[in-house]
Amino acid sequence: MTYDFDLFVIGGGSGGIAASRRAASHGAKVAVAEAHDLGGTCVNRGCVPKKLMVYASRFPKSAEESVGYGWKVDSGSFIWQKMIAAVHGEVERLNGIYQRMIDSAEVKLYRQYAKLLDAHTVEVGDEKVTAERILIAVGGHPVKPDIPGIEHTISSDGMFELTEQPQRIVILGGGYIGCEFAGIMNGLGTEVTMVIRKEQILYGFDEDLRDELHEALQKEGIKIFNSSEIVGIEQSEEGVTVKIVEGNANNGDEAKASTIVVDAVCLSATGRKPSLDDLGLENTAVETNKGAIAIDKHCQTADPSIYAIGDCTDRINLTPVAINEGRVLADTLYGGQDRLMSYDYVPSAVFTTPEAATVGITETDAIEQYGEENIHVFRSRFRSMYYTLPNKDQKTLMKLVVHTESDKVLGAHMVGDHAAEIIQGIAIALKMGATKANFDATVGIHPSSAEEFVTMR
């Protein structure tokens, strides 16, 4: 059978663009459908604009700390609108780069939604297009919990569209998105309150990392209601009234009601889910698992001609993972290479202030897999040299989880300045199977915080 395209990609985010360009470089005839801006969540509503806001939020802290080094710094003023305009300008520049990458790869771009009609046919606008293979890379979107008055909140996407800086904000959710925006807004001078259902932030991360960052955020002035829930949100003349129930009955705590009045915005950062609505999956044999597209090790769905990558699947939802999945898939299908995506030792970071970063497994997971008697944990908690002259009590935490029998380092975790930059290098070592002896034999860079990873005994 003759098809219009060898590969039709639904979704023009980082993963979809990476797959389409790589497939086209191997000679495949490729098309991409994207109704919104190219680059997906990362470029438009996630990694890029968020990190720019993180940078903006750290200048007051740097100015305060510079006094300890002899600088006399006058208190400046922050203009929210100027920052947002600059962020949007950079996003638009990146959109243009993605467009040029698509054009140079000779990939046909449909600026419309695409819907699956069957295993080889998609509907794009008023047109029906066929393809030998179809790749779903539609990403995900933020979800809001079912709370009375939730319509008075914005999601994480809406943070980039605020025309005025809120002076008081409640952030619902203690995941990495909630923590990052709490740090951003706190650094910019907004009064921040977090409401989390768990005892601590960052469920699923290493316990020591969670402890350290939870304490650090509170030291920075962020108020955290833990083991708590928002039970109601109301709009009033004063702003938005948020009703909170503190205490978890399951832990034997006595519930206590609190009310907070904030500006006309309350951020909901309680998670994301795959964007599968109106995609037409019911017209195919594609199966889902807990709301995400189920795929095998080759990113193939239950329908042999349909594949999926990125945040719409049940794998690791990180932009670099989606990009690598797309390239691996294209190389395998069209490049004559038999490649598999490896999900081992994928590093990740939380861009709070201070930062947190991790690679490998947690201490808890290591004990579950190998037994407590077979795990040796190395920890170091210290004040870095940078904070001595400003005389600030800000700690850095570094941790290695080691399998005693093989001496292999199973996990590395850090809270502190430049954690993401440091853990990126550590990730290479762990990916190559480094042992604690390899770390010990490595000469450190002195004086630096990073050297602590090779001096822990």
Q: What is the pLDDT of residue 248?
A: 60
Q: Against a cut of 0.85, is the pTM above it?
A: yes
Give the three-state DSSP class for 2. Answer: coil
Beta-bridge partner residues of 307 = 135, 300
Residues in the chain: 457
- CA–CA–CA angle 309, 311, 316 (5° rounding): 85
d(CA 332, CA 297): 12
Tokens, residue 263 = 């500006």
DSSP 264-310: S-EEE-S-EEE--TTS-GGGSS--EETTEE---TTSB-SSTTEEE-G
CATH topology agreement for domains 150-268 and 348-454: no
Contact 34, 8 (CB under 8 A): no
Nearest alpha-carbon partner for 420 in 354, 365, 361: 354
Give the three-state DSSP class for 369. Answer: helix
Which residue among the candidates 26, 376, 413, 446 is catalytic per the annotation?
446
Domain range summary for the chain, segments of one domain joined by +:
5-142+273-334, 150-268, 348-454
5-142+273-334, CATH topology level: FAD/NAD(P)-binding domain (3.50.50)
Q: What is the pLDDT of residue 251?
A: 53
d(CA 210, CA 198): 11
| pLDDT per residue as tens digits for the range 64-98 | 999 999 999 987 899 999 999 999 999 999 999 99
Q: How many helices (H) and strands (E) does the chain have?
A: 10, 24
**Is residue 412 exposed (0-12), middle (13-18) or buried (19+ Cβ within 10 Å)?**
buried
Q: How far is CA 384 from the centre of its chain?
A: 27
**Residue carrying the six token digits 């950079």:** 90
> Between 3.40.50.880, 1.10.3720.10, 3.20.20.150, 3.50.50.60, what CATH number should domain 150-268 receive?
3.50.50.60
- Residues lower than pLDDT 50 in the chain: 249
Q: What is the pLDDT of residue 396?
A: 98
Beta-bridge partner residues of 236 = 239
Q: Is 413 a catalytic residue?
A: no
Q: What is the pLDDT of residue 249?
A: 46
Give the three-state DSSP class for 9. Answer: strand
348-454, CATH topology level: Enolase-like; domain 1 (3.30.390)
**Residue carrying the six token digits 């994207």:** 34
